[in-house]
Amino acid sequence: MNWLERTIIFSIVIVLAALTAWMQSDLIAEPEEQLSIEQRHDPDYYIENFTAVGMDIDGTKKYVLEAARMVHYPDDDTSLLDKPHIIQHSPNEAPTHIYAETGWVAPDGDEVIMTGNVRVIRGKDATGSGGVTTTERLRIVLKEPISQNKGL
């Protein structure tokens, strides 16, 4: 091997080493900041065949909330519902059934927004003949605020 061949081989090795170092420095850049689970909008749990019952202060059933699946998100404390069904109960009235494709539950659990093919079905009772209403979006407030002047 003559001097020229050694110089060419040495130059190629130097260029390859430089390229390798450059590629590694590019690939091993600063790691992206990892967000904690509270900062990401990732679910922390889900429940299949979910059912919740809401009662008033006297223990009377006010509503039943059912869903094929409920997924909870800890970053904003909201939940998403698949195939939600709400049954609202009022004294001396037929229950009202509300069905939808999806639902969203507020952090305090007092508000549900039903979306997608929403159907409200009310049975016949002494207060009315009942009926069916349909819409694409419906906001439902599940808990009434407690009045400071109740009973006065």
Q: pLDDT value at position 148?
A: 43
> pLDDT (tens digit, 9 = 90+) per residue, 68-113?
999 998 888 899 999 999 999 888 888 999 999 999 999 988 899 9
Smallest CA-to-CA distance from 66 within 99, 43, 95 is with: 99
Q: pLDDT value at position 149?
A: 44
Non-local (6+) Cβ contacts of 101 within 8 A are: 82, 83, 115, 116, 117
Return the bridge partners of 139, or none.
113
Mean pLDDT of the chain: 82
Handedness of CA 89, 68, 99, 137 (dihedral sign): positive
Domain layout of the chain by residue ranges: 1-31, 45-141
CA distance 96 to 108: 22
What pTM was computed for the model?
Answer: 0.67
Mean pLDDT of the 46-54 span: 92
| Cα 35 to chain centroid, rounded | 18
Q: Which CATH class is domain 45-141?
A: mainly beta
